[in-house]
Chains A and B, each alone.
Chain A
Amino acid sequence: MPSITLLAQSILSGMFVGALYGLIGLGLSLSWGLLRLINLAHFAFAFLAAYLCYQMATMGMDPLLTLVVIVPLFFAIGAALHWAMARFQITPFNSLLVTFGLTGIVEAIIQSIWTADFRKLESSYAEHSFKFAGLYVPLPELITLALAAGLSFGVWSVLRYSDLGKALRASAEDAPIAAAFGVHQQRNALLLAGTCSALASVAGVCLALGFTLAPSQIYAWIGVVFAAVMLGGLGRALAPLLAGIVIGVSEAVTMAVTAPSWAPLVSFTLLILILLIRPGRVA
């Protein structure tokens, strides 16, 4: 039987990794729910941002300061990608195929620049951890949790209270009616697509802070993040974070109580259950 300390530490670890699931899933959920684009390249963008963070940090820049460069860059990339998708009238299903191809291209670019070997960002943040009530709290994971919570809440506030958020939700609900009320859909969609990619880049920086990077790892995150997005519901801001934490904690407790190899079953079982019980959640 695992000790109380082990269980508590596992729950904490699960919360941290779940926050990262939620942070990666945030942009994906918004893109899927509000733009009707299933952007698989979201994962590739997160990893590209992680590698750029790694590169700049290796050259002496503070990893968190790299956000100043990375976020605007990825905002532009996301907006440009959406413009191309809209220009060629890509359907939601085709967007899955196009962005899957794009993921492969980004993976190849990453591999050609940084090779297929693993890369680990050595930063001063990794050296710090706090001890709280007998539990260890590593700083990079704490930063990830804070960024995930802050950004999720921020996006939720914008969607709920601002005119822009209301316009985006209206467009997703009924585009022609929203247009009749003067909503500038194209501009808003570019703004949202850029924001989604920018969110992916923030998640990428968090990945670089806490995880070992390899180009092929892009695909390792897809299943679990999709599960978090679907569990939370599409187009929602706070839900991916909460769902991510539920999955992360479930996985961590499974690993603490049974075996690590059982952990992936948790996320995929949840995914299948959601698809069976509440198919409307992903429509």
Chain B
Amino acid sequence: MTPDSPRFNRRTVLGAGLAALNGVAGTAWAQQGPIRIGSTLALTGPLSATAQIHKIVGEIFIEQVNKRGGWLGRKLEWLLKDDQSKPDLARTLYEQLVTVDKVDLLMGPYATPGILSAMGVAQRYGKVLVHHTLGIPALAKYEMSFPAWSLGTDPGNTVPASVFDALAAGPKPPKTVAVVTSKFPPIQFMSAGAREAIKKRGLTEVLFLEWDFGNRDFGPIANRVKDVKPDFVWVGAIGLEGNMLLDAMKKIDYVPPQHFYLYPSPGPLVTLPEATNALSVTIFEEHPPFTNAAGATEFINLYHERAKAANLPDISVEVQAAASYTAWQILEAGVLATKSLDDKAIGTWLKANRVETIQGRLRFDGTGQYGDDLMRVKQVQDGHWKVVWPKNYAAPGATLRAN
């Protein structure tokens, strides 16, 4: 062997061999085609307005990942089906995604009834199910289901506690409270928690009323609230129910001194003049410190662009969009950490580790795999939602106000 001739020692050969193997493996990944993730959303039907948010977020996330080269060297493909807001159809479609479409991974649908349907299918086939907005942790019985909405393990107690803590530290701590609430299950159990909090804190509950989901007439409820003159009104409302109640209050010239709405449609409420100083809860708002999370600003900008193009009435990133993005981040963390698409491995890893998301660092080791309660109290101030409690999450300069 001459000094100029190439030297093939053992290390070089081994290195070349490994590189070749890596190349073959890479080619093999590529030859396997994209990773197929299956899910349904309520693209039509009564839940479709909110489901559009989840669709936009999913599309943004898939695009972002594919731009980065995908997961495990494979691009992502999202197989999205329309469950028409029907839980029974969601169950059938998830069954179809697993058995006929043979997707690699599942992503949960939107809204509690659909999520529970999908969870049954995921459990039957041992698939990981990350879900967006399941409001009752105790219902998440499947051990490989993972929540993206960080309500905490006992939101019925912790969320009302946060609200009453905020009020107690505010300018007019209430002594009398009216609790009016929808009987929609995820709402009703939180309102029951609010009643408990009222008792524990020695406050006086001056009114308790319930209405059925889909109630048309809020006039009599407004009359009842006005009649008892409460210091604070807890409104267990979902969607536009809060707007309807405020409309009814306006008609009888009544403005509640302090008022809270559990799950309002964020856009319509914030633009309603009567909603000034209305309180609600959130996991994410478009201001620091939430926007300090890695990737948050990029996501917010992309979401604004897409939501505007889709003609959504509200283009801001708040609870729904943030939970949806978080869901995809959780699934990504599981896949990348385990370097596999094996559901059991992903599930085991997620239960044992924390995941960095735009909501914060999430853990999945409590009831129903729920972790910390990251719900913050926000308030309509100057036409915007601003977090006011706890203080370290408050928008710059924002403090709780009363009417």
Contacts and interface: CB of A to CB of B under 8 A. Distances in A.
Interface in A1-25: 2-3, 5-6, 9-10, 13-14, 16-17
A176 interface: no
Contact of B227 (A5, A13, A120, A221): A5
Most buried by B among A136, A138, A215: A136
Contacts of B268: 118, 120
B212 A214 contact: no
A13 B247 CA distance: 13
Contacts of B219: 10, 13, 16-17, 252
B244 interface: yes
A245 to B, nearest CB: 14
Q: What is the interface of chain B mostly: helix, strand, loop, or mixed? A: mixed
A221 B239 contact: no
Interface stretch (B30-38, B45-53, B315-323, B344-352): B45-53
Contacts of B49: 115-118
B215 A116 contact: no
B199 interface: no
Nearest to B313: A117
A261 B224 contact: no
Contacts of B44: 111, 116
Nearest to A129: B251
Interface string B220-246: 110110110000000000011001100
A216 B251 contact: no
**Interface size range of chain A in the complex:** 35 or more
A226 B210 CA distance: 25
A162 interface: no
B19 interface: no
Nearest to B218: A260
B72 interface: no
A220 B210 contact: no
A104 to B, nearest CB: 12
Contacts of A92: none
Contacts of B313: 117
B217 interface: yes
B306 interface: no
A107 B211 CA distance: 25
Interface in A210-261: 211-212, 214-217, 220-221, 251-252, 255-256, 259-261
Nearest to A7: B223
B214 interface: yes
A221 B44 CA distance: 21
B239 A118 contact: yes
Contact of B251 (A120, A136, A256): A136
Contacts of B52: 115
B45 A261 contact: no
B330 to A, nearest CB: 28
B267 to A, nearest CB: 9
A217 B216 contact: yes
Which of A14, A118, A126, A131 is packed against the most chain B CB atoms within 10 Å?
Answer: A118
Contacts of A215: 46
B210 A259 contact: yes
Interface in B302-356: 313
A4 B216 CA distance: 24
A255 B46 contact: no
A74 to B, nearest CB: 22
B210 A212 contact: no
A48 B142 CA distance: 43
B265 A13 contact: no
B183 to A, nearest CB: 6
Contacts of A260: 209-212, 215, 220-221
Q: Which of B183, B221, B224, B268 has the most CB of A within 10 A?
A: B224
B223 A264 contact: no
Q: For A10, A116, A138, A256, which residue has the most chain B Cβ atoms within 10 angstroms?
A: A116
B252 A261 contact: no
Contact of B223 (A111, A126, A256, A259): A256
B244 A259 contact: no
Nearest to A117: B49
Given A211-B216, A264-B212, A255 B224 contact: yes
Most buried by A among B44, B223, B243, B253: B223
A141 B85 CA distance: 33
Interface string A100-117: 000000000001000111
Contacts of A255: 217, 220-221, 224
Nearest to B248: A13
A10 B210 contact: no
Nearest to A5: B227
Contacts of A5: 227
A131 B183 CA distance: 33
A264 B251 CA distance: 23
B183 A120 contact: no
Contacts of A115: 48-49, 52
Contacts of B85: 116
Contacts of B183: 261
Contacts of A118: 49, 239-240, 243, 265, 268
Given A118-B49, A217-B216, 18 more contacts: A9-B252, A13-B220, A17-B217, A116-B85, A117-B313, A118-B268, A120-B268, A212-B244, A216-B45, A217-B214, A251-B217, A255-B220, A256-B220, A256-B224, A259-B211, A260-B215, A260-B220, A260-B221
8 contacts: A2-B224, A9-B252, A118-B239, A120-B247, A212-B243, A221-B216, A252-B219, A261-B183
Closest 5 CB pairs between A and B? A255-B220, A117-B49, A13-B219, A260-B211, A118-B240
